[in-house]
Amino acid sequence: MTGQDRASTRHMPTATQVSAITLRSLLVTILLAHGGPCSVAQLTNALAAHGVVTKGRPSKAISDALRWEISRGRVRRVGRGAYVASVVPRTTAWRMRQRSATAVLHGEPNRSHAGSPSRGADATDRR
């Protein structure tokens, strides 16, 4: 790797790994914006363009996420590896856009201890 290559990769944004609900929101948002059928390869490229990576094989993660949305009636499968957005309630679409924008702009929020009391020394020393 040359010095120029290192310099160009140094300022590349890091990819964000997202949770299942955020991945589903991103995919539905992409399908709504596209307005027509999208292949899994197109969805993979769109996620990469947004700086999002999936756990494991991207095609499997995407098809698994869209299977959930199909069961909710928000996405339809129109062929092998091809999906199109269906009817998405306005409030649901708004929530999905908000979740997607937050994940893309600020990374996935850490919810591992959301709503739980502090685990530090202060929490254990109360008597």
Q: Identify whether the C-beta of residue 67 lies closer than 8 Å to the C-beta of residue 20.
A: no
Please check whether residue 121 lies inside any domain of the structure.
no
Whether the pLDDT of residue 111 is over 60: the answer is no
What is the reported pTM? 0.71
Residue pLDDT, tens place only, 3-49? 544 444 444 456 778 888 989 999 999 999 998 999 999 999 999 99
Domain membership of residue 72 as a residue range? 14-107
Q: Is residue 114 part of a domain?
A: no
- Return d(Cα 37, Cα 39) in angstroms, integer: 7
What is the domain-level CATH number for residue 26? 1.10.10.10
Residue-wise pLDDT tens digits, 67-92: 999 999 999 999 999 999 999 999 99
Is the pLDDT at 101 greater than 60? The verdict is yes
Domain contains 118: no
The answer as to whether 38 is a domain residue is yes
Domain tally, the chain: 1
